[in-house]
Structure 1
Amino acid sequence: MRLNPSDIVITADDRPGVHRAPRQISAKRQTATAAATAAPARPKAKRRLPRLRLDMTPLQKLAGAGLLVTAVMVSGLALWHSGKPQRLVRDTGMAFLNSTAEAGFQVADITVSGRRRTPAEQLVSALGARYGDPILGVDIAAARARVEALPSVRAAAIERRLPGALHLSIVERQPVALWQTDSSFVLVDRDGHNIPGAIEGFEDLPLVVGDGAPARTDELFALLATEPELAARVKAAVRVGNRRWNIKLDDVEKGLEARLPELDTEAAWHRLAELEKTRALSGKQITMIDLRVPDRMVLKSSREPTAVNTASIAPPTAMARER
């Protein structure tokens, strides 16, 4: 595009070599200029960076929090599996226990009460405490469990007597019978637990024979106790087919054998006690009495067996009335 000379306006101030005359400034503009010059310069405002705003839904916020918790848990598990926290706790605990032992809280005396048959070395081993050990480091519950696991111990209690004494009190299992297996004998208590050790001093206990006999010992002695006089004469009890009992009175080999039923056992035991009181069957060369049938019984003497109706055996007073 070409410019025409008439399009360019040249004023006096624009002419080359001509100085511009001073411009006339109004009084109002002079006042504003003076005030701006006299006033201190105001600091420039800092430029704020734009902020990014994320609008998240509640579900997204929950997912973010879950990721954060998961990351923390993973880090914690990794630290835990490294074993460092456990070692720190163990070392700190051991240092504390050692300091208490140095202060006088250490095992210096161990006493036991209630021991009759249990070997002392078994109790010491089960207790797990040695002289000089920190007494506060003895795990009472674990030691008690180990002592009660011994075959001859029924119950135990452990007392810590500070500063340096441990007292162990035990209740031993009491033998009530000898369990005969083949040609060997083992002591058993009322609950049927085997009690290891020698049988010397317990040879006069009743024998229990047969499979399952020890487990039924409590049941047997509860039955016998209902007739104390007759129970004192029991020398052996044979478990037959793990269903019922044959009882031997007075002598294991030559005594009277009473065959009790599987059902109504207590009633049959009472019948036998009554017959012994009134008829003294064991003193009449009778070797066996079968009480398995409620309304009759079979007697066997050294000569031959005899079937007897129970109605024919009655107390003397009843027999006198019948006459």
Structure 2
Amino acid sequence: MRSLIRRRPETPKADPAPSRWSWRMQRLMLTPGFRFALRIGLPFTLSLLAGTIYLSDEDRRGAVMQTIADLRASIQERPEFMVKLMAIDGASDRLAREIRAAVPLEFPLSSFDFDLTELREQVTAINGVRQANVRIRPGGVLQIDVTPRVPVAVWRNAEGLALVDKTGAHVTKIASRAEQADLPLIAGDGAAEHVPEALRLIAAASVMGDRLRGLVRVGERRWDVVLDRDQRIMLPEENAVQALERVIALEGAQEVLTRDVARVDMRLASRPTLRMNEDATREWWHIRQLSGQ
């Protein structure tokens, strides 16, 4: 009886270990670089490929560019982004006209079309402007705040008359001396480069009152102080202010400049020299001749 019962063969159990390819795939999926390439790199590459194929057609590319341009224009030309006028503060009427001529703008303009840095450079390039600030105010106003150069002297040069500031920078040209009669006059080549020294000399000579006519730069090396009656004080290259003060002291003590003196030569500090005018010289020679007889 037992011999008639057959046992069913036992089925082999499945191996729980993964296959070689499955194991390699699992290890690959655990690699950060592969996961990044799969989640981001692959979609980006496919999108780029599709976009390249789509834009390879010139008509489709032109349509896309036109759509972008129309969208950009619709945003930039909105009323809240439009600039309607220009306001200039801190400048005289003449300087304001020069600024408007140097920055010719036709309003209204979109604020996106402005290069404020370039505008500021254009404004500061004007001779009469020392510093400028350019911004767009709410309400569509291009605001230009100007710090002008303040003229301190009139410079007579080969090209005419010009106003200069305390640093010697050119401010503007003038047609006649009468336009700025309140400012001192300097003349000669290179005079504008030595305005600080000229101002110190003018301050020292202020005790002479209306007798002072101006300063002349001689040989681009030194100054001559020009007084009325065509008198000149010839100053040295060094210590010019001190030399002028010595002459002023002599005038106070001996009234040197009230006499018939044409030149006071202070170029040699150890030996000041007085030069009489022609009439005084002739009279002196006449007196000598009479005394010799």
TM range (shorter): 0.5 to 0.7
* Post-superposition offset of 1:245: 0.8
Counterpart of 1:133 in structure 2 is 109
Structure 1, 254-263 or 132-141: larger mean CA deviation: 132-141
- Following the alignment from structure 2 to structure 1, what is the Cα–Cα distance between the partners of residues 237 and 249? 20
* Post-superposition offset of 1:183: 7.2
- Following the alignment from structure 2 to structure 1, what is the Cα–Cα distance between the partners of residues 171 and 96? 12
- Following the alignment from structure 1 to structure 2, what is the Cα–Cα distance between the partners of residues 126 and 156? 14
1:239 equivalent to 2:217? Answer yes
1:228 equivalent to 2:200? Answer no
Contact 2:85 2:108 in 1 (8 A): no
* Post-superposition offset of 1:27: 8.1
Contact 2:152 2:164 in 1 (8 A): yes
- Following the alignment from structure 1 to structure 2, what is the Cα–Cα distance between the partners of residues 208 and 248? 10
Contact 1:153 1:173 in 2 (8 A): yes
Pair 1:195–1:262, CA change in 2 (3 A): same
Name the aligned partner's letter for residue 212 of structure 2. V
Name the aligned partner's letter for residue 240 of structure 1. V
Query: Percentage identity across aligned positions?
Result: 25
Query: Which of the numbers 264, 280, 283 marks the counterpart of 2:239?
Result: 264
- State the TM-score, normalizing by the size of structure 1: 0.59
1:162 equivalent to 2:138? Answer yes
Counterpart of 1:280 in structure 2 is 255
Pair 1:297–1:43, CA change in 2 (3 A): closer
Name the aligned partner's letter for residue 110 of structure 1. M
- Following the alignment from structure 2 to structure 1, what is the Cα–Cα distance between the partners of residues 210 and 131? 28
- Following the alignment from structure 1 to structure 2, what is the Cα–Cα distance between the partners of residues 105 and 231? 59
1:117 equivalent to 2:94? Answer yes
Query: Which of the numbers 138, 143, 146 marks the counterpart of 2:119?
Result: 143
1:90-121 alpha-carbon deviations (Å, 9 max, x no partner): x979955752542333222322232243261x
Q: Which structure 2 residues correspond to residues 28-177 of structure 1 after superposition, within 5 A?
A: 30-33=6-9, 35-36=10-11, 48=20, 99=75, 101-113=77-89, 114-118=91-95, 120=97, 122-127=98-103, 129-135=105-111, 137-177=113-153
- Following the alignment from structure 1 to structure 2, what is the Cα–Cα distance between the partners of residues 268 and 93? 73
The structure where helix makes up a greater share of residues is: 2
Counterpart of 1:178 in structure 2 is 154
Query: Which of the numbers 269, 272, 293 marks the counterpart of 2:268?
Result: 293
In structure 1, the gaps of 5 or more residues are: 1-24, 53-87, 306-323
Higher Rg of the two aligned structures = 1
Contact 1:187 1:199 in 2 (8 A): no
SS in structure 2 at match of 1:299: strand
- Following the alignment from structure 2 to structure 1, what is the Cα–Cα distance between the partners of residues 182 and 192? 17
- Following the alignment from structure 1 to structure 2, what is the Cα–Cα distance between the partners of residues 230 and 27? 152
* Post-superposition offset of 1:267: 1.2
Contact 2:161 2:173 in 1 (8 A): no
- Following the alignment from structure 1 to structure 2, what is the Cα–Cα distance between the partners of residues 119 and 197? 15
In structure 2, the gaps of 5 or more residues are: 25-63, 283-293
Contact 1:128 1:143 in 2 (8 A): no
SS in structure 2 at match of 1:225: helix
- Following the alignment from structure 1 to structure 2, what is the Cα–Cα distance between the partners of residues 262 and 148? 34
SS in structure 2 at match of 1:197: strand
- State the TM-score, normalizing by the size of structure 2: 0.64
CA RMSD after TM alignment: 3.9
* Post-superposition offset of 1:301: 2.1
Query: Which of the numbers 269, 281, 286 marks the counterpart of 1:304?
Result: 281
Pair 1:93–1:226, CA change in 2 (3 A): farther
* Post-superposition offset of 1:263: 1.7
* Matched residue count: 235
- Following the alignment from structure 2 to structure 1, what is the Cα–Cα distance between the partners of residues 74 and 4? 96
